[in-house]
A = this chain, B = another copy of it.
Amino acid sequence: MNVDGLKIVDATLRDGGLVNDFAFDDSFVKALYQANLAAGVDYMEFGYRASRRQFDPCAFGKWKFTSDQDVWEAIGEKDPRMKLSIMVDVGRTDFREDIAPRKDSPIDLFRVATYMETMPEAIEMINYISSLGYETTCNIMAISKCTDEQIAKALYSLAATPALAIYVVDSYGALYPKQARKLTRLYHNILAPVGKEVGMHAHNNQQCAFANTIEARDCGAKWLDGTAFGMGRGAGNCHLEALLGCLNGKKYHIEPLLRLIQEQMLPMKEAGIVWGYNTSYLLTGLANQHPRMAIAATKEKDYEYVEQFKVLSYQ
């Protein structure tokens, strides 16, 4: 299996943080960091850098607001084998105040997450953050709601920015493998000529997160997101251990993730942190809708799937 140029990104603290309000123990963060290092993961994402003016720091764990200091405390010193990233959401970050120049920071990459309609703000952020010396990517959320024309227009706009890669983000877990391939090719055809790469961030609503991720790779995507044990919003993400399993070899190693699952992820599940596929998520994915209804149904142990399907069908 050719792994040249791949960037495996562990997004556990970030997408997983949406499940537990970013309340990760320090010991968990250190274990995850060591596992990623040993596994050959290329980037580890240390949560979000959200605005402390917009969100109450008492209501969330620190990885929603990740400071450089938080990262230094978690990692000790920088290990050159793995880069570190943070995600910033358009409109939810004080990026002009809260980001120091790269030379003073443990962070290498900021991933700018945006919906299609806020692309101008995303581009402004990408340009500004790049000017501080960071690598950047643009993660276009809810891509299953966008037309090919909207996507092409956005990609041509992004072509003029310093962003290294643009992601297909299947926020709703609505894509089938065929669509994941089609979108990856659309991205690739526009981005490759300007020297940019394609990323895939998948959700598991229809149990296609892993399949879509490896299909995207086969169509040229180089940036592949996964999370330990699939931990992420709602139905969760592509399981990082599945991805490392199929890439297992000289560069990537599944074993550190297997140990992490046994020692950290199973106890977390046992403690009542809930994520992963269920029938309610299947239905929101099928309806190409935000998973909020399924998240609520899961929390309330509402198993009235026919009713849920009807509500979604009429939305």
- A108: chain B residues within 8 A (beta carbon): none
Pick the contact of A241 from B212, B214, B258, B279 — CB < 8 Å?
B279
A308 to chain B, nearest CB (A): 8
Residues 151-180 of A contacting B (Cβ, < 8 Å): 176-178
- A110: chain B residues within 8 A (beta carbon): none
Name 15 interchain pairs, CB-CB below 8 A, sorted by A.
A176-B211, A177-B177, A178-B215, A206-B245, A206-B246, A207-B210, A208-B211, A241-B282, A245-B286, A248-B286, A258-B279, A258-B305, A258-B306, A262-B305, A262-B306
Residues 188-226 of A contacting B (Cβ, < 8 Å): 204, 206-212, 214-215, 218
Determine if A64 is an interface residue (Cβ-Cβ < 8 Å): no
**Chain A residue total in the interface (Cβ 8 A):** 37
What separation, in Å, do the CA atoms of A80 and B303 have in the docked complex?
A: 32
What separation, in Å, do the CA atoms of A211 and B258 have in the docked complex?
A: 24
Are B211 and A177 closer than 8 Å at their CB atoms? yes
A107 to chain B, nearest CB (A): 31
Are A218 and B178 closer than 8 Å at their CB atoms? yes
Are B305 and A259 closer than 8 Å at their CB atoms? yes
Residues 74-97 of A contacting B (Cβ, < 8 Å): none
Task: Give the number of times this chain occurs in the complex, counting copies.
Answer: 2
What separation, in Å, do the CA atoms of A144 and B303 have in the docked complex?
A: 37
Determine if A266 is an interface residue (Cβ-Cβ < 8 Å): yes
Are B246 and A303 closer than 8 Å at their CB atoms? no
- A246: chain B residues within 8 A (beta carbon): 176, 206, 286
Pick the contact of A309 from B211, B212, B258, B303 — CB < 8 Å?
B258
What separation, in Å, do the CA atoms of A177 and B212 have in the docked complex?
A: 9
- A208: chain B residues within 8 A (beta carbon): 210-211
Are B215 and A206 closer than 8 Å at their CB atoms? no
- Knowing that A177-B214, A241-B279, A248-B286 are A-B contacts, what are 19 other residue pairs whose CB atoms are under 8 Å apart, sorted by A's residue number? A177-B215, A178-B218, A207-B207, A207-B239, A208-B210, A211-B211, A211-B212, A239-B282, A241-B282, A245-B286, A246-B286, A254-B309, A255-B306, A258-B283, A258-B306, A259-B306, A262-B303, A262-B304, A262-B305
